[in-house]
Structure formats: C-alpha cells, structure tokens
Amino acid sequence: MQKGIMRKRRGTPLSEYGRQLQQKQDLRSQYNLAENQLKNYVQETLGEAGKGDPQELFLQKLEGRLDNVVFRAGFAPSRKQARQMVSHGHFLVNGRKVDVPSFQVKKGDVISPRPSSRERTLFKNAQLSLKKYEAPSWLQLDKEKLEIAVQQLPTLAEAAPSVEIPLIFEFYSR
C-alpha cells in the first residue's frame, strides 16, 4: 500500500478519492484505454466474482488484448504503436485478419503479421529488434516466422501491475 502520495502544489496528502482517481488514470494511460473501456473491464470483472481472483481476472483482460499482446511480444516499442498496427489490419489471429485492438486472445491463439505486411519497413525493423528481445513466459515467440503463440494468460505476478488494482475497483464501485 502506497502511503503519503502528495499533491504537487500544496504538499498535502491526496484524499482517498484522489488516490483512486490517480491509480485509475495511470492504468488508463498505461494501457491506452478510453474511460468507457476501462469501466466495462472493471464491471465485467466484478460481475465474474466467483471465477477466481478479481485482480488476476482484470489483469488477464487487459493483458489479453490483441494490441497488448503485440506490444508484449516486441513487435512494437509502445502500446500506442501496437494499437495502430492492429487497427491498420497488419495481424492475423489463427489465420483470420483482426483489426480490433481490444480483441481478446485466448490460450492457444496464434498471432502473426499478414503476409503482405511482412515486407513493410515496420516489420523488418521489428524483426531486427526481436533478435535481442525476450518475450514474457506466457507468450511463445517464434522470431524467424514472426509468430506469437499464447501459451496461457498471465498471472498477477507475471503481469506485475504498477498500480493498485483494488483502488481502481473502489473507484468504480462508488
């Protein structure tokens, strides 16, 4: 639990609401989400109360987004660029073109660039940077074929969130 987060100007500690808002905004910014997208993910997760640890389920929803998987696999240097690459239709999921960044991947899905996209400078540069890159353990990256296989969705420890998820749940529970 973070203590003593201070306001920038006055040096006074943030209120509980202020801390919740700050954590929510940090997560939105980190995953490049719209307000309604984040709100929907929180509501879906809290609605699935009996299916496991809510924090882990929530992070699996965020990490399982196609744009995030492309970023985690090292195809893009930022989530914003990964989102743009997906939006422009450069990726296939199990052989089918997907251009929706929020598409949820599942265990066993195979993600690869479209054959026509592989010749672009974007992917040639990515292939060079992938040589030194180590993908997270929940993804299997074939650097030669430029294929990502989803082995499983990440655990809370593997995702290592930089925010306090319970504060985000509290924010949306108001």
pLDDT tens-digit map of 76-89:
999 999 999 999 99
* Residue range 9-13: mean pLDDT, rounded: 73
**Which residue, 56, 62, 52, 60, is CA-closest to 24?**
62
Residue 167: its pLDDT value, please?
Answer: 94
Count of H-run helices and E-run strands, the chain = 8, 5
End-to-end CA distance of the chain: 20
Q: Could you tell me if 171 and 138 are in contact, meaning their C-beta atoms sit under 8 angstroms apart?
A: no
Residues of the chain within CATH 3.10.290.10 domain(s) are 65-150
Which range is least confidently modeled, 61-70, 75-84, 89-98, 156-165?
156-165
Euclidean distance between CA atoms 26 and 162, whole angstroms: 9
**CATH number for region 16-61+156-172:** 1.10.1050.10
Question: What is the helix (H) or strand (E) element at residue 133, kind and residue range?
Answer: none
Residues of the chain within CATH 1.10.1050.10 domain(s) are 16-61+156-172
Residue 6: its pLDDT value, please?
Answer: 54
Specify the fold of 65-150.
3.10.290
